[in-house]
Amino acid sequence: MVVGNKVLKVAKIILAHMQSIDGRGMVEVEDGVNKVNALLREKAINNNTIPWHTTVEFGKGSQNDKSRWMISKIGEECTKQEVLTTTTECLTAVFEAKGEMLNAWMENEKVVRMLMPVEPSKVARGRRDIGKKLRDENKDIKTGHRFPKLLVGARTTGLAFDAADHTEAKMLVEKGVMWEGV
């Protein structure tokens, strides 16, 4: 995108919510867009830069628990990390206080979604705890930014998580993943 004589970029950031986004959640996310835009505008005024603008699509993901934030009008001098850090600060200010935000990450086409069968787990765990357990038992694997998710039925029989890339996914298929010591 070119505005005036400046080249501007667009970035996509995924926000994972603690629960599925229902009718009430949609209203809260839409209200959050205005608040995030106001925070980004304030940062731009303080830094004497062009204000970024966000739009959102929600109800993404297998359980409608993600929203995709399109950030536009980003100056070409900004790195991906700066965009992620600044936007995540604003998202955190708006959503984490309400306990609605799980985490946020920059959309990455290299990530491979993995499904792993696991023994039924009698201990209920949150997604953060599952991610910590997976990393603790498998120190050498690289995962994506999205927290793992238990596939819920009568009992848990699967785990969905992101491998960092195709090479990592291939290695995990060949080697396997440790879960509860097995």
User: Could you tell me the residue ranges of all domains in the chain?
Assistant: 2-106, 112-175
High-pLDDT (> 90) share of the chain, %: 7
How many Cβ atoms are within 10 Å of 22's Cβ, its own excluded? 11
48: confidence class by pLDDT, cuts 50, 70, 90? confident
Q: What CATH number should be reported for the domain whose range is 2-106?
A: 3.30.70.1130
36: confidence class by pLDDT, cuts 50, 70, 90? very high
182: confidence class by pLDDT, cuts 50, 70, 90? very low
High-pLDDT (> 70) share of the chain, %: 65
Least confident of 76-85, 113-122, 135-144: 113-122
Q: Which helix (H) or strand (E) holds 114?
A: strand 112-117
Q: What is the pTM of this model?
A: 0.63
Q: What is the mean pLDDT of the chain?
A: 75
Residue 136 in contact with residue 180, Cβ under 8 Å? no
- Report the pLDDT value the prediction gives residue 84, as an integer from 0 to 100: 87
Query: String of b and e for 102-115 (b: at least 16 CB within 10 Å)?
Result: bbbbbeeeebbebe
